[in-house]
Amino acid sequence: YEFLVESNGYAPWYTAFESFYVRRLKTRIDDCFARPIHGVPGRYINCFNRKAIRGGFVYDGTSNECLNLSSYNYLGFAQSHGVCTDAALKSVDDYGTSVCSPRAHSGTSDLHLECERVIADFVGKEDAIIVSQGYGTNANLFSSLADSKTLVISDELNHASIRFGIRLTGAVVKVFKHNDMKDLEKLLRNQIAQGQPKTHRPWKKIIIAVEGLYSMEGNLCNLPKLVELKEKYKSYLFVDEAHSIGALGPSGKGVCDYFSIDPNRIDLLMGTLTKSFGATGGYFAGDKKIIDKLRINYISNNYTESVPPPVLAQIISSLRVIRGELNPGEGEERLQRIAFNSRYLRLGLKKLGFIVYGADDSPVVPLLLFLPAKMPALSRMLYDMGIAVVIVSYPATPIISARARLCVSAALTKEDLDYILEKINEVGELIYLKFSSGIAGGS
């Protein structure tokens, strides 16, 4: 694993502009959970141990089994599981591991069409398109929707894939303050007012782009207000449900389900299959008219490989389990577990006095310390206690609010969570004592 020692791989321009100290802190934070794993990332995750050497780390071949708060395995489907695993294995017999072609060439099997039908049904839209990468789904989508006569209004904390996708379009981009509906409305009003004289507005279309559940903050978008504004200002609404689909709402159908809003009031619902479904790739779903247009225009359909069959089988079977069509009762139990676990961990941490961001029902639990520089210590101490957490910081968050992003899973038991709370509390105390004795003792 020596090659991983050099895994930081900064581009030269990046190295040049970033100061030495920022880079050093970022490197330390990146190191916090950048360990190779082996085995299935389920309730537990097996990570290779490493030892420090001058200038970095080397992996020593031994490994550590940790309770897993570091994968986005919200419903626990990543874990080897009867129905999904059997379906994935069978699909390899029937279709092989790859279709070796983009969708528009010979990369569309009956399994692809079935998967799109199941996804569209689940999210409550007429049709859907699946794509082999979640990031790529967004990165390639906006250029098929927008051009220089379009105004795209984007939440300031939108995921990099959305921001990248929007920048490729040539559209005019405006950014509103995170989740601030007053700022969004002000922008909409001002932009439309630019169309004076009042006979027409200056934009062919306006697209508002948001996330359902923000992956670094753990908070939800204000969907009721967004829908109201998009209707009032005759705009289109795009919602990225990477972290909410499967994990939020009484039936696991994401933010629309959570807020009891008809999905037909949102123009495009996008999601990734990496998180709740233990698979990979992304999808977007909408009215037949939009999806038919995108089947022709969407760049990935022509220029990149289609989703592999075992992945499709995994998505289809996990969705059927959630809907109760396979293994009745299991889907419901998983949904109840993720809802219980998310609240239990978050409220437990709050009770212990930790700073925790986000909504009570969010499976993403960002944990902060008063001293962000102690984040790497928190991660390493927890690792030694058999708990895997990922630390995120700049550029995903401001450097002063580096955080441990705890991802809750239905695979964890209440006993696991009690152990996790006990150990986080211990580590918090240790960090606090060390820090305060440092000040008091002047050491």
Task: Identify which of residues 307 and 382 has a Cβ nearer to ligand PMP in the complex.
Answer: 307
Task: Identify which of residues 159 and 403 has a Cβ nearer to ligand PMP in the complex.
Answer: 159
> Can you tell me the distance from the alpha carbon of 164 to that of 142, in angstroms, rounded to the nearest whole number?
9
Task: Identify which of residues 50 and 405 has a Cβ nearer to ligand PMP in the complex.
Answer: 405
The 8-class DSSP code of residue 346 comes to: H
> Can you tell me the distance from the alpha carbon of 212 to that of 254, in angstroms, rounded to the nearest whole number?
8
- Give the DSSP H or E segment for 387: strand 387-388
> Can you tell me the distance from the alpha carbon of 318 to that of 76, in angstroms, rounded to the nearest whole number?
10
For CA atoms 349, 355, 358, 364, give the dihedral sign.
Answer: negative
Task: Identify which of residues 103 and 374 has a Cβ nearer to ligand PMP in the complex.
Answer: 103
CB of 163 to ligand PMP, least distance (A): 10
Neighbour tally for 351: CB within 10 Å: 10
C-alpha distances in Å from residue 305, one per residue of 96, 242, 297, 353? 14, 21, 16, 48
**Pairing mode of beta strands 37-38, 44-53:** antiparallel
Q: In angstroms, how far is the first alpha carbon of the chain from the final one?
A: 37
Q: What six digits make up the tokens of 266?
A: 């949102």
> Can you tell me the distance from the alpha carbon of 432 to that of 291, in angstroms, rounded to the nearest whole number?
53
Task: Identify which of residues 103 and 159 has a Cβ nearer to ligand PMP in the complex.
Answer: 159
CB of 156 to ligand PMP, least distance (A): 14
> Can you tell me the distance from the alpha carbon of 75 to that of 424, in angstroms, rounded to the nearest whole number?
23
Task: Identify which of residues 161 and 300 has a Cβ nearer to ligand PMP in the complex.
Answer: 161
CB of 210 to ligand PMP, least distance (A): 10
CB of 271 to ligand PMP, least distance (A): 8
Task: Identify which of residues 109 and 161 has a Cβ nearer to ligand PMP in the complex.
Answer: 161
Interface residues with ligand PMP (CB under 6 A) are 133-135, 138, 159, 161, 211, 215, 240, 242-243, 272, 274, 282
Give the closest residue to 280 by CA, choosing from 252, 256, 309.
309
CB of 159 to ligand PMP, least distance (A): 4
- DSSP letter string, 117-144: HHHHHHHT-SEEEEES-HHHHHHHHGGG
State CA 179 to chain mean position distance.
17
CB of 253 to ligand PMP, least distance (A): 17
Residue nearest to ligand PMP (CB): 134
CB of 87 to ligand PMP, least distance (A): 20
Task: Identify which of residues 316 and 326 has a Cβ nearer to ligand PMP in the complex.
Answer: 316
CB of 33 to ligand PMP, least distance (A): 15
